[in-house]
Amino acid sequence: MNRHCRTALTVIALALLLPFSANAEIRPGSTEVGVFGGYNLFEKSQNLNNNPLFGGRVGYNFTRHFGIEGVVEHMRTEVDDASITGAKEGQFRSPTSDVNLTFYHLDAVYHLIPTGKFNPFILVGVGGAHYSPEISDGDMPVLNAGVGAKFWLADHVALRADLKDTMVTEIFQETYHNLGATLGITVAFGGAQKPMPARAATAAAKPAEPVVILVSEPKAEEKVAVVCAEPVAADKVVVLAFEDIHFDFDKATLTPQAQAILKRNLRVLQENPHAKIRIAGYTSASGSDAYNQKLSERRANAVKDFLVQEGVVAPDRLEKIGYGETQPTTYEAAPKDLYSRAAKSNMRALFEIIVKDR
């Protein structure tokens, strides 16, 4: 293996070992550098043996679709038929044996699919061909056309395959076709970054999710009320959720079931000594507005008295309010039906609790 092949393989190996993340596409403003190796098929009339080639390229992407690149590729070959002794320009003849050939060209590249890991493209360009020993007064002009694809192994590293026809032309004379297939590694630098998804872009500004604690699962006719304070500064906001308690018709006394619910809720209040608690009383739609307002206040008072009597909650942590029949949890289509499901759900008291850890 000659020195050039060893160098190319070393560059490819180092590129594959680079710790890039796997999320790539063609980026506007990016620069691409690559090395490659492959095989070249000479048109028979050139009298040269088909041989391996290697080279490198440097490109720049103006947009996601359109870019430009400069390419240099080299191969070492031999005269195919040493018995040919003609003097036709563009054709090697004896006694020449070894021939060094270098193609150099500037290509325009159009990416058919610029997004995602797989980017097929087409290319066309112009350049020159340098032969050693020379077969003309100078380098011969070249037209280059081909297709290929890039497959991104990582964010900045792609495997690239090309199939092209490098046409060596003699002005106003014959054109010689050189079909080449190459495989190599391309490394991209810079370019416009992919925009962050809207969710990720706003994640930093989103406040921490509140912690919701359910003391117990409410029944179907019960409703859980949660009130959350706006977070300020760096304080942590914790939201507590409590079950509603319900009363019998036209009563403000706590049922055994309501007392059991309050005792369960007290465990959470003990764990949050900075809680500010507002107790809200409600009624069904039956009765006058004034009577229902006073009944809702008596229900709120009954809950407050129970919490204070248990000796767990200090009176200065408690507020109370009565809403009467003004804020029903369920619409009562028949207010005169005193024991309807809707009426029972409205005869309640609930807790509005905001806790801020200090």
Distance CA 92, CA 84 (A): 8
Start-to-end CA distance of the chain, whole Å, equals 72
Which residues in 51-69 are b (16+ Cβ under 10 Å) and which e? eebbbbbebebeebbebeb
Higher pLDDT, 252 or 147: 147
Assess whether pLDDT exceeds 50 at residue 255. yes
Distance CA 4, CA 292 (A): 96
Higher pLDDT, 146 or 261: 146
Distance CA 170, CA 331 (A): 93
> For the domain bounded by 3-190, which CATH number is listed?
2.40.160.20
As given in the structure block, the two tokens for residue 106 are 């500037």
Range with the poorest average pLDDT among 109-123, 214-228, 234-248: 214-228
As given in the structure block, the two tokens for residue 320 are 């109370």
Sign of the CA dihedral with 13 first, then 18, 19, and 22 last: negative
Return the CATH number of 208-356, one of 3.40.50.12280, 3.30.1330.60, 3.20.20.70, 3.40.50.740. Answer: 3.30.1330.60
Helical (H) or strand (E) element with 166: strand 157-169
The pLDDT of residue 35: 96
Higher pLDDT, 136 or 189: 189
The pLDDT of residue 8: 53
Whether 3-190 shares its CATH topology with 208-356 is answered no
The pLDDT of residue 344: 77
Most confident option among 5-9, 127-131, 328-332, 339-343: 127-131
The pLDDT of residue 230: 47
Higher pLDDT, 286 or 290: 290
The pTM for the full model equals 0.49
The domain spans of the chain are 3-190, 208-356
